[in-house]
Amino acid sequence: MKILTTLLLLVVASLALARTSEDVPVDHKTINEKQLKTLWNSLDTNYRPCGDFYTYACHNWSDHHKGIQYNYHGVADLLGYEVNLELMEYLEKTPETDVPRFVKLFKDFYVACRETPDFELLDFIHWMEKEENMKWALFTPDDSKDFVFDWATILARFRKYGFNYIFLTESTIYQDANSFTTYLNIPNFKEMFYPIIELEMTEYNETIPLPCGTMNFEELWQILGPFEEKLLKIKAEKQQQPTILKFQELPYPWMQNYLKALMETQVVDPNMKISIDNMAYMEALDNLLQQYDAKFLARYVEIRFFQISHMLIKSPSEHVHMSLARSLLPMSAEWIYEQLHPDLRDEIPKIEQMFENVVKNLNKSLHMDESGIIPKEFFSKLETMRMKVGYLPQENTKNLLDSYYADLQMKPNDYYHNFLKILEFYYKLEHKYFDYANFAKDKEFFYKTPKYAYNTEVKPIYVDELNLLIFPLALFRAPEYDARFEDIFKQSSLATLMGVSLFDAIATNEDFPNEYVEKISGVISLYTSFRVFFSSLSTDQIARYQQVFGFSSVRELKRMFFLNAIHYRCYRYSDVTKKFVNFAVGHLSDFAEAYDCKMNNYLKMF
């Protein structure tokens, strides 16, 4: 196994050298021609645009896009792949003495990830014992004298690694330097909770030898399966306002123990404020837990924690390593990206203007709906939604980022340690006051712990608490956006994506039926970006575009608009996207006209 890994690393290293092929600067004309060619190359003319536009527009995309060592699966993922290449090259070429500390951290993480040998769950278990100076309940005999089977304390120990979805979630928000509120809420079982399956238990049974006198995995499974079923069945009516209690008023001992362990102190301020979103849920949870033995619950929490170690698994691909680094330290990655693309700064006002237009016109289109199908909350969210280009604070960036990451340390050659340290770092950041008073403009970046989620794709991010849409800098590269693109490319891809992202953001709210919103979002976003662009186009501009692209009619220009508008959504395999894209164009008279489709008037929305 070791030999195989080494071989793979060698292959990866040699491929890494063979990469930079397209770094020659290209002029305005060439890049626009190249974009058009990308669109043409993606077409599969065996399909009919009127019948299945998505497959027509995207089917041959994958033939022209094959990553080296990493098979990216769509345009959003391709953007991430190419950003990875640039970041790797930057790290390779830039002397360490020339970079700020937060970039050095980024590099250390990436290199350690590449160099650290893989390890197995059993290694992880022993490694945690050392790292945390702890003993596992799973390995402790039932009759042990010096061990307390206290699941709440065990839960708190793991909480700092982002483990925050068993039984309840905890978060802490500072009002100012001296006052904060801790929130205890129902976890989002639907999204975060994957019940443990028998197969996992069999695997644990086979790979983790437990000492005598403890519950073995078979015994645990007998209790665990039914327990999780009951846990997931807990129902509680929505509570309108959260209940605010003082620490000393908390009704359940485990709740107090949990918070005490989290704060790593024996004496908690009895007047500390706790906000609980749903007392009925907590009561039902308490009822369920009461029926179980402390030894079982302690071991159950640990088995759940094993699932965290799945998150740490890395493949031998250097792209996976870089995507991990990007996901865990997004601000460092953005900062490097900005150094490599200083020209992006000049585009920002234009992009902001585009967003404003999208909001204004989406709002107009939505107001045309008189059926009342669009919920009122939708409009109020739209009114206050803001956008930001890039994650970075705008002023004093370098110093801010250095102070932001000041407490984070990396160990060379210890990827596992580093990963967990980053998770812990985010946890600690959330649990201390960060003085951003002087940086009012940038306060969003220090307001809340960024949620860690491994993602290889480059796509807009929505921060619910702030009603803020972030468009990462790395999104602004071909084929999505380039400063040298003609406006028709910029508008069709970015304004359409902005529209769809706005809807997606609002649809994260559970009050809106998701599938429905996703469907109309495609129609309205495309309609809006198309109309905004073509309604403002003068005859001269149309003539110019036709000449630039060698078209003989406006219709061809319109077709190109639609192709480019959905290009970001091309995937190797995607029935879901196909459904939404085809639904969208099938309801647009502008599309029917551009492609000469017979349109069923019953379908027409715009």
Ligand X SMILES: *[C@@H]1O[C@H](CO)[C@@H](O)[C@H](O)[C@H]1NC(C)=O
467 near ligand X, judged by CB under 6 A? no
383 near ligand X, judged by CB under 6 A? yes
Within residues 213-232, the interface with ligand X by CB under 6 A covers 218
User: Residue 130's CB: how many other CB atoms inside 10 A?
Assistant: 8
HEC per residue, 463-516: EHHHCEEEECHHHCCCCCCCCCCCHHHHHHHHHHHHHHHHHHHHHCCCCCCHHH
Nearest distance, CB of residue 487 and ligand X, angstroms? 22
Of 363, 449, 467, 574, the one binding ligand X (CB under 6 A) is 363
Of 14, 46, 133, 547, the one binding ligand X (CB under 6 A) is 46
- x/- mask, ligand X, residues 304-343, rule CB under 6 A, reads ----------------------------------------
List 276's β-bridge partners, or say none. 184, 243
Nearest distance, CB of residue 577 and ligand X, angstroms? 19
Note whether 389 and 559 are within 8 A (CB).
no
Quote the tokens at residue 170. 């905890």
Judged by CB, which is closer to ligand X: 259, or 506? 506
510 near ligand X, judged by CB under 6 A? no
- From CA 596, how far away is CA 589, in angstroms rounded? 10
Q: Stretches 41-49, 251-259, 275-283, 396-404: which one binds ligand X (CB under 6 A)?
A: 41-49
Of 230, 345, 367, 411, the one binding ligand X (CB under 6 A) is 367
- From CA 199, how far away is CA 16, in angstroms rounded? 38
Q: State the virtual CA torsion across 377, 382, 388, 390 in degrees, nearest 10.
A: 60
Q: Stretches 14-22, 44-52, 74-82, 492-500: which one binds ligand X (CB under 6 A)?
A: 44-52
Of 43, 50, 234, 542, the one binding ligand X (CB under 6 A) is 43
Judged by CB, which is closer to ligand X: 60, or 418? 60
353 near ligand X, judged by CB under 6 A? no
Bond before 226 cis per omega within 30 degrees: no
Of 144, 205, 413, 455, the one binding ligand X (CB under 6 A) is 205
Nearest distance, CB of residue 384 and ligand X, angstroms? 9
- From CA 201, how far away is CA 221, in angstroms rounded? 7
Of 175, 202, 248, 553, the one binding ligand X (CB under 6 A) is 202
The burial of 465, by beta-carbon neighbours within 10 Å (0-12 exposed, 13-18 middle, 19 or more buried), is given as exposed
User: Do the strands 243-246 and 179-185 form a parallel or antiparallel pair, or are they unpaired?
Assistant: unpaired
360 near ligand X, judged by CB under 6 A? yes
Judged by CB, which is closer to ligand X: 142, or 383? 383
- 133: region left, alpha or beta (phi > 0 left; psi from -120 to 50 alpha): left
- From CA 564, how far away is CA 545, in angstroms rounded? 15
- 577: three-class secondary structure by DSSP: helix
37 near ligand X, judged by CB under 6 A? no
- x/- mask, ligand X, residues 53-82, rule CB under 6 A, reads -------x----------------------
Quote the tokens at residue 49. 């645009």
Judged by CB, which is closer to ligand X: 359, or 585? 359
The residues binding ligand X (CB under 6 A) are: 43-46, 60, 202, 205, 218, 359-360, 363, 367, 382-383
